[in-house]
Chains A and B, each alone.
Chain A
Amino acid sequence: MSTPARDTNQASVTLKALAGPAGGALSLLARTRTVVAQRFRQMLAPAPTPAREFSAGHTTAGSWVGRALLFSFIAMVMAPTLTASLYYGFLASNEYVSETRLTVRAASEDKQSGPDSLAVFSKLGLGGNKATVQDSYLVLNYLKSRSVVEDIGGDEYMEQKFSHSGIDWFSRLPRGRPIEEVWKYWTYHVSPVIDALSGIVTVKVYAFSPEDAQEIAIKILDLSERLVNRVSERSRAAAVKEAEAEVERAEHELVATRSDLQSFRNQSLTIDPVAKAASIGEMMGKLLVQRSEIENQILTFSGALSANSPTVRNQKNQLDAVDRQIAELKKQLTSTGENDRPVATELSTFEQLKLKEQFSEKKYTTAELSLDRAKLDLEKTKLFISLVVEPGLPQYPLFPERGIDILLVFAVGFVSWGILSLISASVLDHLI
Chain B
Amino acid sequence: MSFIEQSSQPTARILQAMKAQGRIVGALMLRDMRTRFGRSQLSFLLALFWPLSHMLSLFLPFVWFSKYVPLGGSPSVYIATGIAPYILCMYPARMVSMAITVNHPLLMFPIVKTTDLILARIAVEILGALVVISIFVFLLVAFEVDILPPDPAIAVSAIFMSIVLGVALGVLNVVVVSIFKFWQFIFMAVMIVMWVTAGSTTVQFNYSEQTKYLLSFNPLLHLVTWMRSAYYGDYSAIPLSKAYVMGVSFGSLFLGFAGDRLLRGRVLLQ
Residue A275 lies at the interface, judged by CB distance under 8 Å to chain B: no
Residue B205 lies at the interface, judged by CB distance under 8 Å to chain A: yes
Residue B261 lies at the interface, judged by CB distance under 8 Å to chain A: yes
Given A39-B263, A415-B254, A432-B16, A197 and B116 contact (CB-CB distance below 8 Å): no
Binds A, one of B1-9, B43-51, B89-97, B218-226: B1-9
**A423 close to B206 (CB less than 8 A):** no
A60 to B16, CA, bound (A): 17
Given A418-B254, A419-B257, A431-B13, A426 and B113 contact (CB-CB distance below 8 Å): yes
Residues of A within 8 A of B20 (CB): 430, 432
**A35 close to B4 (CB less than 8 A):** no
Residues of B within 8 A of A418 (CB): 254, 257-258
Closest to A28 in B: B180
A85 to B163, CA, bound (A): 34
**A428 close to B262 (CB less than 8 A):** no
**A432 close to B206 (CB less than 8 A):** no
Closest to A196 in B: B205
Closest to A67 in B: B10
**A427 close to B6 (CB less than 8 A):** no
**A429 close to B14 (CB less than 8 A):** no
Residues of A within 8 A of B110 (CB): 50
**A55 close to B111 (CB less than 8 A):** no
**B267 close to A427 (CB less than 8 A):** no
A58 to B20, CA, bound (A): 21
Residue B239 lies at the interface, judged by CB distance under 8 Å to chain A: yes
**A428 close to B8 (CB less than 8 A):** no
Which residues from chain B sit less than 8 Å from chain A, CB to CB?
Answer: 1, 4, 6, 8, 10, 13-14, 16-18, 20-21, 24, 110-111, 113, 115-116, 119, 179-180, 205-206, 208-209, 234, 239, 250-251, 253-254, 257-258, 260-264, 266-267, 270
Residues of B within 8 A of A36 (CB): 262-263
Given A415-B254, A419-B250, A426-B119, A39 and B262 contact (CB-CB distance below 8 Å): yes
Residues of A within 8 A of B263 (CB): 35-36, 39
**B254 close to A428 (CB less than 8 A):** no
Shortest Cβ distance from residue B43 to the other chain A in the assembled complex, whole angstroms: 26
Residues of B within 8 A of A193 (CB): 239
Which residues from chain A sit less than 8 Å from chain B, CB to CB?
Answer: 28, 31-32, 35-36, 39-40, 43, 50, 54-55, 58, 60, 64, 141, 144, 193, 195-197, 415-416, 418-419, 422-423, 425-432
A285 to B253, CA, bound (A): 114
Task: Pick the residue among B4, B14, B251 that contacts A427 (CB under 8 A).
Answer: B14
Closest to B111 in A: A430
Write 6 A-B pairs (CB below 8 A) sorted by A numbering.
A39-B263, A64-B10, A193-B239, A419-B250, A423-B257, A429-B113
**A422 close to B4 (CB less than 8 A):** no
Task: Pick the residue among B10, B13, B14, B115 that contacts A426 (CB under 8 A).
Answer: B115
Residues of A within 8 A of B116 (CB): 426
Residues of B within 8 A of A40 (CB): 262
A sample of 8 more A-B contacts (CB under 8 A), given A40-B262, A419-B257, is: A54-B1, A415-B253, A423-B119, A426-B115, A426-B116, A429-B115, A430-B20, A431-B14
**A419 close to B254 (CB less than 8 A):** yes
Name, among B111, B116, B205, B257, the residue most crowded by chain A CB atoms within 10 Å (CB to CB): B257
A423 to B25, CA, bound (A): 13
Given A196-B206, A415-B250, A419-B257, A426 and B266 contact (CB-CB distance below 8 Å): no
**A430 close to B24 (CB less than 8 A):** yes
Closest to A38 in B: B266
Shortest Cβ distance from residue A69 to the other chain B in the assembled complex, whole angstroms: 13
Shortest Cβ distance from residue A406 to the other chain B in the assembled complex, whole angstroms: 16
Residues of B within 8 A of A31 (CB): 267, 270
Closest to B114 in A: A426
Closest to A64 in B: B10
**A427 close to B206 (CB less than 8 A):** no
Task: Pick the residue among B6, B14, B209, B250 that contacts A428 (CB under 8 A).
Answer: B14
A432 to B1, CA, bound (A): 7
A426 to B206, CA, bound (A): 48
- Give the 3 A-B CB pairs with smallest separation, nearest first: A426-B115, A422-B257, A430-B20
Task: Pick the residue among B1, B111, B257, B266 that contacts A39 (CB under 8 A).
Answer: B266
Residues of A within 8 A of B250 (CB): 415-416, 419
**B266 close to A54 (CB less than 8 A):** no
Name, among B113, B250, B254, the residue most crowded by chain A CB atoms within 10 Å (CB to CB): B254
